[in-house]
Structure 1
Amino acid sequence: MYPCDFINSKNNIAVYLWGRGVIAIGFAFQSILADIFSYFTTIIDKPFEAGDFIIIKDLRGVVDHIGIKTTISSWRKA
């Protein structure tokens, strides 16, 4: 089978839809993998841990929880 034979086959639409589906799934997993990577980076590097008091510009707060997608903290203006 040559590549030009495949162009005229009946599987052309299925291959087209399969390719678009794989691309869509790839974009969806890109965000999920980025979140997981940032979680492990935070856990391994440990720039802060739960219970730490942190100051960012005029905000002060305590880190309550570090999760995969979120870091929960309590903030107050200085």
Structure 2
Amino acid sequence: MPKTVREQLDEVERDITLYNEFAEAEKARFKLECFLWTAEERIEWQETQRSIAEHLRELHDKRTALLDELEG
């Protein structure tokens, strides 16, 4: 069953919140543990952060499109 625009928007907003919370937790973990990490682990962490940022941009774009559709 297809989701309504409102349901899709709610889902995207939940995803944005979860990704933001995860990103903040990862930044806090980095501050506490980074001195113990190898260079490879730091690179992996940076790649994860880049991936999170990219996905958040996609979610924000989707949110904007859904809001436009809802208002239109």
Q: Please identify which structure carries the higher strand content.
A: 1
What is the TM-score with the length of structure 2 in the denominator? 0.45
What is the TM-score with the length of structure 1 in the denominator? 0.42
Q: Please identify which structure carries the higher helix content.
A: 2
Taking CA–CA contacts closer than 8 Å with sequence separation of 6 or more, which of the two structures ends up with the larger relative contact order?
2
Q: Is the radius of gyration larger for structure 1 or structure 2?
A: 1
